[in-house]
Amino acid sequence: MNIGEFTRKDNGSVSGFIAEPTYDFGNVYLAKVESTNEGAPPFDLMTPTPRGRPFKLGSLWEDHAEETGEVYFSGYIVSGASGYVRIRLLRSRQNPNLWNVVRNVPGERRRGAQQVELPQPPAAKRQRKAKAPAPVEPEREAA
């Protein structure tokens, strides 16, 4: 599911938006990560706060498709409403300066994945019918 797009500008900077019904980050940009840790992401996804301060929204790692060798980025953003949202940035084939942001939907089948049968829930128990209330006797007049 496409949830945004990024554009590379003439000066080499990359920025764009990421939006879903529960959040809308309109000015997201990439910041290069300086780290000696080989597991560190090469880029952080940043967005300004309402007061203009930089805020780390998530991280991206560079990867490549096994079959085609095409480069893409995978990572995540953190949203208070949605928690960790796994995303991929895929380059548009029509415009090399455009990247589509795709949300990784849980449960998507991967190529080569094995079919797994999940256990069936137990059958619902039969419930007894409620007993009808006893008839109420009319009140007797006091003699």
Q: What per-residue confidence (pLDDT) applies to 118?
A: 67
Q: In whole angstroms, give the CA distance from residue 48 to residue 17.
A: 12
Q: In whole angstroms, give the CA distance from residue 7 to residue 96.
A: 9
Q: What per-residue confidence (pLDDT) applies to 22?
A: 86
Of 26, 25, 41, 131, the C-alpha closest to 79 is 25
Q: Give Cβ neighbours of residue 112 (< 8 Å, ≥ 6 apart).
A: none
Tokens representing 92 are 């548009």
Domain boundaries, the chain: 2-103
pLDDT band, very low/low/confident/very high, at 9 (cuts 50, 70, 90): very high
Whether residue 143 has pLDDT greater than 80: no
Mean pLDDT, residues 120-131: 71
Whether residue 33 has pLDDT greater than 80: yes
Q: What per-residue confidence (pLDDT) applies to 17?
A: 96
pLDDT band, very low/low/confident/very high, at 115 (cuts 50, 70, 90): low
CA 119 → CA 115, 122, 123, distances in Å? 13, 9, 12
Whether residue 122 has pLDDT greater than 90: no
Q: Is the dihedral of CA 29, 70, 42, 82 positive or negative?
A: positive
93 HSE (CA, 13 A, CB side): 2
- The mean of the pLDDT values for the chain is 84
Whether residue 30 has pLDDT greater than 80: yes
